[in-house]
A and B are shown apart, each in its own frame.
Chain A
Amino acid sequence: MSDYLENNVQEIAAGKFAAILQDNGFYIKPQNNTSDGIEVIETSSDKLVGIIAFLKGYGFDTLFSVSGIDAGENFVVAYHLYSSNFKSNLVLKVWLDKNNPEVDSLSSIYSAANWHERETFDLLGIKFRNHPDLKRILLPDDWVGHPLRKDYVMNDSRLVWNER
């Protein structure tokens, strides 16, 4: 959500990779490093694919995690990248609308994103646009709801046999 980025005026100095992205004209917002010193960058969902494509060309050759977070008012999707050139990690975060969480799929850039995005869709219900095969991966196909959402209540009457 670009609104979120504009309204949040807290200034954090850009790290190494954030500065490189800013020099190349990408609209990003650097965040505090993680406790183990990994750089965190926030961006908006419509700019994500361009930034990731740039980072892959720049040297981040591995996408090793895509995860979703239910942050109350928003959904957050976090992408963890690794570069074997720089021997360093990078975290990209995208804030999404709670009612209509949609973000572009990265599976055309990193094939590893395919199953990670399916898992995020399965457990949090975040839609990934242009994903080749966006269906459930961990739960049965006819499952109702997305269990890692904070407001998830399991009231599927088909599962009454499984109660204690």
Chain B
Amino acid sequence: MKIIITAVDFIYNWARSNSVWPMTFATSCCGIEMISTSAAKYDIARFGSEVFRATPRQADLVITAGTLTHRMAPALVKLYEQMPEPKYVIAMGACAITGGMFENDSYSVVRGVDRLIPVDVYVPGCPPRPEALLDGLIQLQKKIRTETILDRKKYLESHRAKVKLSDDSELALPMDEMEIYHWGIQTEGYNLDENVLTRENVEDNCVRLFGK
């Protein structure tokens, strides 16, 4: 049985990793580097990723190229949730990794897309050169080739949306169906007026809303 799964995995991963279709998501100057990566000189088509899809429903990969503001954050989360499984994220550039030069004192920038969606590969640079993005893509392909069909569910389980509680502990949200907003906390999950984030509040409200 294990031999069969390994063989299936090999073919399955070979096919998937050589046709990773990215979603068009360029929020600032890193997008220019992403465009030039897909253009003739650097030619991302050599790695099977030339098909930039303008809809999340046909994409496997989202390259978050650029600064993510609070205004854009719900859109990114919504797009990520609309992508079909299995889906991958490359955080491209300093802004997408940590907030970059906006990290220290900005009111409008999300400090890294990994606060909203799970990131597979980080590509540093400001902006990264096309070679760096291609290297990130190759790393992602290597990562895809190590996966098996059985592990994917475990991976997703460890990447569930979490809530940071008032006592600094984290609680994974019990339901995948809960919509994630840019506040990082759920508007339906607890009472926004009181701003009290405790384990009991979140769990009680999940029971109230979803019956679990």
Residues of chain A having any CB pair with chain B under 8 Å = 138-140, 143, 147, 152, 154, 157-164
Give the docked Cα–Cα distance between A154 and B104 (Å): 13
Q: Footprint of A on B, CB under 8 Å? A: 69-71, 74, 99, 103-104, 107-108, 110-111, 115, 164, 182-185, 192, 195
Measured in the bound complex, the distance between the Cα atoms of B69 and A35 in whole Å is: 34
* Complex contact A139–B115 (CB within 8 A): no
Contacting pair B195 A147 (CB below 8 A): no
Residues of A within 8 Å of B115, CB to CB, are 161-162
A162–B108 contact, CB under 8 A?
no
Partner of A139, one of B108, B164, B183: B108
Closest 3 CB pairs of A and B: A161-B184, A147-B107, A158-B183
List A contacts of B111 (CB < 8 A): 162-164
Most buried by B among A139, A152, A154, A161: A161
Tell me the complex Cα distance, A147–B164, Å: 25
Are A161 and B185 in contact, with the CB atoms below 8 A?
yes
Q: How far is the CB of B113 from chain A (nearest CB, A)?
A: 12
Chain A: minimal CB distance from B56 (Å) = 21
* Contact (A138, B185) CB under 8 Å given A147-B107, A162-B110, A162-B111: no
Residues on the B chain within 8 Å of A163, using CB:
111
Whether A140 contacts B195 in the complex (CB less than 8 A), given A158-B183, A159-B183, A161-B115, comes out as no
Q: How far is the CB of A120 from chain B (nearest CB, A)?
A: 16
Tell me the complex Cα distance, A139–B70, Å.
7
The answer to whether B71 and A139 touch across the interface, beta carbons within 8 angstroms, is: yes
